[in-house]
Structure 1
Amino acid sequence: MYVSECRWRKSSHSVEGSNCLYVAAGERDSIMLRESEQPEVILATTRTRLRTFIRAAKAGQFDHVAEH
C-alpha cells in the first residue's frame, strides 16, 4: 500500500482549523499518523504501540516533557 492510497481520517478530537491529526490504517497491523501542518511527515506504528502510548499519555506519564 502506498501512502497516496491511504484513506486518511481526521481525529474526532481535532477542532476545525490547522491543528488537526489524521490517522490511516496501513498494511497488516500498522497505523499511520500525520498532522495537518506537515502532511508530508508520517509516523507509522502498530496498533498495540499506539494504544500503549495513548494509555500512558492519559495517565500523565509524559506530563514532565517540556513544550518547545
Structure 2
Amino acid sequence: MRHGVLAKKRRKLRVQQLTSHRRFLAFHGLVLASTAVVGVMVDVAIQLVFLFHFGRDAHAAEIAPQKAA
C-alpha cells in the first residue's frame, strides 16, 4: 500500500517538473526571439543613421570644386 502511494506521488512530481521545464523553455524561447527582433531593429536604425549622415556628405564632396595644389 505504502509503495503505491509513494509511486503515485513520484509520478505527480515528475509531471509537475515537466510542465515547469516546458514553461521555462517556452519563456526563454520567447526571450531569444524578441532579442533577435530587437537586434535586427537596432541594426536597421544604425544603418539608417549612417546612410543619412554619409549619404549627405558624399553629394557635397562631388559638388565641391577641386583646387590645384
TM-score class, shorter: under 0.3
Structure-1-length-normalised TM-score: 0.26
Q: Which has the higher helix share?
A: 2
Using CA pairs under 8 Å that are at least 6 residues apart, name the structure with larger relative contact order, 1 or 2: 1
Q: Which has the higher strand share?
A: 1
